[in-house]
Structure 1
Amino acid sequence: MKKLFNQPLTVINAGLSSFADNIKQAGADAINLSWQPPANGDKQSGLNLASIVNDPIINQANELAMSKYLASQPVLVDVMLAKEAIEGLKETKRILHAGPPIAWNDMCGPVQGAILGAILYEKWADNLDDALKLIQNNSVVFEPCHHFNAVGPMAGIISPSMPLWVIKDNQHPSNPPVFCNFNEGLGKVLRFGANSQEVLDRLDWMGTELMQAMKAAVEQTSGIELKPIMAQALHMGDEVHNRNAAATGLLLKQLIPALLNTSLEQSKVKKAIEFIMQNDHFFLNLSMAASKCMLNAAKGIENSTMITVMARNGVNFGIQMSGTGETWFQAKANPVNGLFFPGYGVEDAAADLGDSAITETAGVGGFAMASSPAIVKFVGGTPQDATNNSHLMQAITIGSNPAFTLPALNFTPTAAGIDARKVVDTGILPIINTGIAHKQAGVGQIGAGITTAPLSCFVDAINALVKKKNS
């Protein structure tokens, strides 16, 4: 003991950093350990977490869920109209939206504007006033895309006459297909709530000529594997959420030869190719659908704490967890910290919005930012911040995905398989990079940035799993 106190001593301080500061001011060495009680300090939630944190049954369930996710092979196999692909859109006036369930009166401006635009596109009403009356008369049903195995960016609107990509899992052929809409490009677009005649005319073309071209092209292939495109794009500077320039180019390499083998008019083929070439985000929707497909393979594993859905509707953030099925756990969406276009600021922004957080749920997007240093010019921060985010996510995941590797990190696999236990235990929140929509319908995108999932969603999910496990 005497020898111990004759040596230089360093204090490790856990908790308030002011204690460490006082020790340093007194001339001693102190290291401050950033720590906070799990589960936001809620005692019962902390006890629930403790009861399963090293549970071999939970660990085994997570290993199974993770293995199914890793084995998944999403393949683009077809293009269909939504009313042909999704049973629930055939007869009822139903419109699908991003994020967890939400009532019309609670929706944010961009989602309401996009829904009104979809009603006009479907010709259920002749003008915006009549479209609003339809809604007020409860003549239109709204449900999340995820309830129909679909995803959509930002407002995420899918209505019956819209074209959808159809993605199947070749490794799990009994799983139902996943659907996503076509990406409209940037500017005044439906997914940001715009509903002008220009927007409707573009949607009409996309639902006819562009759909015909994409369907014909896909039919010329034996299916387009999406996982290799995502993996290669990560090596070319994408993170396949907010940056899809490389992935869109790789998709075009397969679409163009296929299009040239069709009997379509050359002018229509040319217009389709030009549209895609002018839209670096074209692959985004396919990236989302591929991520959904991979995570669907991990759904419904009893006792698993692996997160299978993260989604936002512009008001609330919702998650689903493998071991609790399709139950939503929701909290108010966190604000987005980012860069705004000139003339706009945080007071103009809608809350976090869109199904595109499914990419982070699958281990890309914000989790793979180290592969895309250029993304910081869009969402803010530095290349080192992007690398740090990719490192940090390893602390809250079950494992990693060897199919998706990060060149900047010596080809380290991306962190994957968000474990709700680790989120609640560490307080480290899943990183999401995202576009920022104006809070008013139709203004469009006003910036991009970084946000996180709210902790309380994961606390609620753990509490629900423990209750289910003990019942």
Structure 2
Amino acid sequence: MNTLFTQPLKVVNAGLQSFASNIQKVGGDVTALSWQPPAQGDVAAGLDLAALLCHPRVEQANQIAMERYLNAQPALVDVMFAHEAIPAMAERKLILHSGPPISWENMCGPVKGAIVGAMLFEGWATSHEQAECLILAGDISLEPCHHYHAVGPMAGIISPSMPLWVIENKTNGQRAFSNFNEGLGKVLRFGANNDEVLNRLSWMRDELAPALKAAVHQLGELELKPLMAQALHMGDEVHNRNAAATGLLIKRLLPALLSCNLPLDNVQRVVAFITGNDHFFLNLSMAACKAMMDAAANVPFSSMVTVMARNGVNFGIRLSGTGDQWFQAPANAVEGLFFPGYGVNDAAADLGDSAITETAGVGGFAMASSPAIVKFVGGTPADATNNSRRMQAITLGGNPAFTLPALNFAPTAAGIDARKVADRGILPVINTGIAHKQAGVGQIGAGITTAPMTCFVEAIRVLAKEVQNGDKA
């Protein structure tokens, strides 16, 4: 014991950095560990977490969910109007929005503006005031896209007359849907609803959709995982950067379009619209990821996250093992780069269903493949690589279909495990656009955010009860 006090002091400090700093100031050799209590220091939740770690039921369920996700083969098979693809939209006046459920009174500005725009587009109202009166009277149903196997970026609005991409998982026949990408500027997904927006939506319904439907039928079907994988090798991460994926899509669609005997001026307008929008593939990427995650859903006792989504107010997640239940918390702020003239005070909270890409292991999880994305969302190429590496600590494994050249072609981290998130204090990273908090202003920047820890802690509590009940049965 006496010899111990005569040796140089070497300390491992877990917790507050200030403790380590004080030891360093007096000449001590200290290794600082970034550590915090699991489950936000909640003792009861920590005990629930401990019961789930290495639990055989959970481990087996996660293996099944992960296999279903990996085996999913999403393919573009059709273009349909929403009222055709989603039967509930033919039965009542239904508008779908992004994120978890939320009442009209609590919605953010861009989502409210987009819903009003959809009602004007459908002819259900002739003014903003009339639209709001119909909503408050209960004449319009407002529900999340995810409740109908659908996804939409930003406000995520889908109304009955809007065309949808139809993605089918060829492994199980289940379908997922997404609306069309409108491009940048004044668009519905940011809450704009003027004549320019409504005229564009009408053109997309009347001319773009029939042309793309004909092209898809001419093509037969288009497997999306190989296209996404190729785009990752070309500098995309298929969330905020889709330039390569859109180009690859055009290579396949254009010959089919030219074979459909459509009027030349029609084809010219369609091609000009697609080539003028580098984000055109985003909605296909989202629907493909939705199809992959739906394949992993509803496996009893699984702690795998199958949905992450935001509505501009709250962030919500779903676990495979807890069915359709949402776990919500206030959405985290987005840290990033703002367009000139805008700042943090102008921004809406995190918004959109596009975090389904990160849920499926691309987007922010694949930033190492897209170093150029940091020019858009902030940070450095090293930050992008570190984000991809860090996500390996909170996932069940990797997806060999999606590989990252910058990491020696390692598979992207995939299969977010709520247990690991709560235990290790590492939150899923998401790169995202930033919307102005007022309807119609549009995108004002882009950056990086994370899912709130509270969602995962609450999910752990519920899953632990499910597993406990299963053990008793």
Question: TM tier, shorter chain?
Answer: over 0.9
1:27 partner amino acid: G
Residue number in structure 2 paired with 1:43:
43
For 1:127 and 1:16, locate their aligned partners in 2 and report how far apart those are by CA, in whole Å.
Answer: 56
Contact 2:8 2:28 in 1 (8 A): no
For 1:84 and 1:355, locate their aligned partners in 2 and report how far apart those are by CA, in whole Å.
Answer: 22
- 1:395-434 to structure 2, matched below 5 A, reads 395-434=393-432
Structure 2 unaligned spans of 5+: none
Deviations 1:68-126 (A, max 9, x none): 10010000000000001101100311100000000001000000000000000001112
Deviations 1:13-42 (A, max 9, x none): 111222211211111200111100001100
TM-score where L is the length of structure 2 = 0.98
Residue number in structure 2 paired with 1:287:
285
- 1:213-232 to structure 2, matched below 5 A, reads 213-232=211-230
TM-score where L is the length of structure 1 = 0.98
For 1:235 and 1:131, locate their aligned partners in 2 and report how far apart those are by CA, in whole Å.
Answer: 46
For 1:411 and 1:98, locate their aligned partners in 2 and report how far apart those are by CA, in whole Å.
Answer: 33
- 1:456-467 to structure 2, matched below 5 A, reads 456-467=454-465
Tell me how far 1:56 sits from its aligned partner. 2.1
Tell me how far 1:237 sits from its aligned partner. 0.4
- 1:22-171 to structure 2, matched below 5 A, reads 22-171=22-171
2:131 partner amino acid: A
Aligned-partner SS, 2:278: coil
Contact 2:57 2:467 in 1 (8 A): no
Aligned-partner SS, 1:178: strand
1:399 partner amino acid: G
Deviations 1:168-218 (A, max 9, x none): 001122x3x101000000000000000000000000000110001100000
Deviations 1:289-320 (A, max 9, x none): 00000011110111100000000000000000
Tell me how far 1:9 sits from its aligned partner. 4.6
Residue number in structure 1 paired with 2:17:
17
2:440 partner amino acid: G
For 1:27 and 1:136, locate their aligned partners in 2 and report how far apart those are by CA, in whole Å.
Answer: 67
Aligned-partner SS, 2:91: coil
In the alignment of these two chains, the number of paired residues is 469
2:314 partner amino acid: N
Residue number in structure 2 paired with 1:252:
250
For 1:455 and 1:217, locate their aligned partners in 2 and report how far apart those are by CA, in whole Å.
Answer: 44
- 1:302-317 to structure 2, matched below 5 A, reads 302-317=300-315
Q: What is the root-mean-square deviation of aligned Cα atoms in Å?
A: 1.1
For 2:6 and 2:228, locate their aligned partners in 1 and report how far apart those are by CA, in whole Å.
Answer: 58
Structure 1 unaligned spans of 5+: none
Aligned-partner SS, 1:54: coil
Residue number in structure 1 paired with 2:340:
342
2:426 partner amino acid: I
Residues 1:321 and 2:319 aligned together: yes
For 1:185 and 1:109, locate their aligned partners in 2 and report how far apart those are by CA, in whole Å.
Answer: 20
For 1:5 and 1:352, locate their aligned partners in 2 and report how far apart those are by CA, in whole Å.
Answer: 53
- State the identity %: 69
Runs of 4+ in 1 over 4 A off after TM superposition: 1-9
Of 194, 198, 201 in structure 1, the residue corresponding to residue 199 of structure 2 is 201
For 2:179 and 2:156, locate their aligned partners in 1 and report how far apart those are by CA, in whole Å.
Answer: 8
Aligned-partner SS, 1:90: helix
For 2:218 and 2:170, locate their aligned partners in 1 and report how far apart those are by CA, in whole Å.
Answer: 18
